[in-house]
Amino acid sequence: MNPAPRTLELTIDGRKTEVAEGTTLLQACQAQGIAVPTFCWAENLTPLNVCRICVVELEGARTLVPACSRKCESGMIVQTESERVQLSRKLVLELLGSSVDMSLATEFAALAEKYDAHPERFGPRSPRARPGEREAATAGHHHAGDGSHAESVAQEKKVDNDLFVRDYEKCMLCYKCVEACGIDAQNTFAIAVAGRGFDARIATELETPLPDSACVFCGNCVGVCPTGALMFKAESDLRESGQWDESRQKVSDTICPYCGVGCQLTLRVQDNKIVRVTSPADHSVTSGHLCIKGRFGWSFVEGGKK
Ligand code: SF4
Ligand code: SF4
Ligand code: FES
């Protein structure tokens, strides 16, 4: 039998708190009701701390530390909203907002307002890259712009299948999709980060279209994407035609009918059509992840074949 974890005492925003050994600063903050913003963290994925929006100030530490992955230690004194933290978050939001379309990212607008972030101060976003241009970038040969535009990842959507689209103009490179496709859920490894620096991007092997890649269309990458860069085709089509209307949508839970595992599905329905299927990240069976049938195999509900 494993011994009970040690209890640690630390101070967060002036309040002493006790946590079990192994608790992250983010978990300790959440237990105290202290809001710490996150983009690349998710409760059903291993923290990779790449976005740095969650940084907090730790007394005695040279740099700000990512709350999502830093474990609590006895005697830590932590500030979650110090001037330094606020300035750092403001800059992260400005760099992201100037280079990536964050319009659908949860909480981005509210955070930008809270931290007085003005991405537009870097100038208008650079025009969309031509199809294949970003994929052709050579590591170490990125040329700085002339200052008239903010460098951006603007590009055309990739639509190469009927199930989901990849709109990498909205990709903040949080790595969540790579983790969900890899060891955190699907273990398929169909996608990875290719390129370096500003030219880094999510790619299939040799940039093949998804149907020709190792992808098994489980949609687990879509389920964890925080920016809408990966989106159900049904949702994307509705948004493009201006028909996406959350006031006309219903959300209901059900159990997947395909096999006996018992995966919980959360269905978002508009005008009697299922437009998005997810599963709760804290569900004991799925941990938020599904297979192709549960995620996309629902056309029979709308009169198609199972
Ligand atoms: S749909 Fe599944 S297999 Fe395909 S890229 Fe996404 S996570 Fe990987
Ligand atoms: S596609 Fe989505 S989940 Fe993947 S890295 Fe980009 S923003 Fe993150
Ligand atoms: S949420 Fe912590 S680094 Fe992204």
82 lines ligand 1 (CB under 6 A): no
Residues 18 and 102 in one domain: yes
Ligand approaching nearest to the C-alpha of 50: 3
Q: Report which ligand 1 atom has the smallest distance to the Cα of 218.
A: 2
52 lines ligand 2 (CB under 6 A): no
Inside any domain, residue 39 = yes
- Residues 128, 121: Cα–Cα separation, whole Å: 19
Inside any domain, residue 195 = yes
Report the SS3 class of residue 2.
coil
Residues 169 and 298 in one domain: yes
172 lines ligand 2 (CB under 6 A): yes
Strand partners, 66: 55
Residues 168 and 288 in one domain: yes
Residues 194 and 69 in one domain: no
Inside any domain, residue 271 = yes
**In this predicted model, what pLDDT tens digit does every residue of 34-85 receive, in sequence order?**
999 999 999 999 999 999 999 999 999 999 999 999 999 999 999 999 999 9
Report the SS3 class of residue 21.
coil
Distance 253 CA to ligand 2 centre (A): 26
163 lines ligand 1 (CB under 6 A): no
Q: Report which ligand 3 atom has the smallest distance to the Cα of 174.
A: 4
Query: Which domain CATH number covers 281?
Result: 2.20.25.90
The structural domain count of the chain equals 2
**In this predicted model, what pLDDT tens digit does every residue of 191-210 receive, in sequence order?**
999 998 889 999 999 999 99
Query: Which domain CATH number covers 14?
Result: 3.10.20.740
Inside any domain, residue 19 = yes
Residues 30 and 82 in one domain: yes
Residues 277 and 168 in one domain: yes
DSSP code, position 67:
T
Note whether 104 and 124 are within 8 A (CB). Answer: no
Mean pLDDT of the 12-35 span: 98
Inside any domain, residue 236 = yes
Ligand approaching nearest to the C-alpha of 48: 3
Looking from the CA of 187 toward its CB, the CA atoms found within 13 Å total: 0
Ligand approaching nearest to the C-alpha of 55: 3
Q: Report which ligand 1 atom has the smallest distance to the Cα of 177.
A: 7
- Residues 252, 266: Cα–Cα separation, whole Å: 6
Inside any domain, residue 153 = no
Residues 285 and 169 in one domain: yes
Residues 112 and 30 in one domain: yes
Which residues are CB-contacts of 72 (< 8 A; sequence separation ≥ 6)? 8, 10, 19, 21, 23, 24, 25, 28
The answer, as to whether pTM is greater than 0.85, is yes
Residues 111 and 207 in one domain: no
49 lines ligand 3 (CB under 6 A): yes
Inside any domain, residue 248 = yes
56 lines ligand 3 (CB under 6 A): no
Residues 169 and 287 in one domain: yes
Cα dihedral across residues 228, 229, 230, 235: positive or negative: positive
Q: Which of 61, 94, 125 is the last residue of a domain?
A: 125
Residues 284 and 175 in one domain: yes
Ligand approaching nearest to the C-alpha of 102: 2
- Domain containing residue 64: 1-125
Is a pLDDT exceeding 60 seen at residue 306? no
Inside any domain, residue 284 = yes
Is a pLDDT exceeding 60 seen at residue 305? no
- Of 188, 213, 233, which is best to mutate to test ligand 1, by the most ligand atoms within 8 angstroms of its C-beta? 188
